[in-house]
Chain A
């Protein structure tokens, strides 16, 4: 059962534009929502994360928006740059299961110069 659904599968954005990736979850016990960025040939790296007691978290050009009632969260990349071209994974954790994350299927972002 896919517990975290991520969309779109791929995304092409012009340099300077806003990239938006969406995730939806089913398990209301999830209480931590990280995003990972993966460049070709590298392992995923933690980019930004949010806990459900806040509706938004911003770090530089990256913002997570969180809607608890809709069970949805999204990643916004402002002023997208070619260097942001990567695969992005959303994930969700409960405070159990030994820290295990449930991952979305990933979004491949291409930022065109």
Chain B
């Protein structure tokens, strides 16, 4: 298994532009989580899905952020318009929701908004 796959690995964009981050979870995992990591705020949960349905988006910082999971093998996190304070590493993680298991994280997308 290739693990959780995120793309792109790095993204540099200008303020005001739309940014789309992508994630492919592990096959068979039915829960998917989007996190943001910064030095100041640590690891923040933005939103998570179970069986492709958004369960809790209370961590999404503003309406500029949106996430979708159109099927079990793909999710996107979109920022429109982007701002310099959105600069961070964004991680996607997946797991199975039955029983208790740990997460498998992707390698992350390092976003820089200039």
Contacts and interface: CB of A to CB of B under 8 A. Distances in A.
Contact of A98 (B43, B55, B105): B55
A106 B33 CA distance: 18
Interface residues of A, number: 23
A43 B105 contact: yes
A106 B42 contact: yes
B43 A99 contact: no
A69 B67 CA distance: 40
A31 B101 CA distance: 11
Contacts of A93: 100
Interface of B: 4, 30-31, 33, 42-43, 45, 48-50, 55-56, 91, 93, 95-108
23 contacts: A32-B101, A34-B103, A43-B4, A43-B93, A44-B43, A44-B91, A45-B105, A49-B102, A51-B100, A91-B102, A98-B31, A98-B48, A98-B50, A98-B55, A98-B97, A99-B95, A99-B98, A99-B100, A100-B31, A100-B33, A100-B48, A100-B55, A106-B43
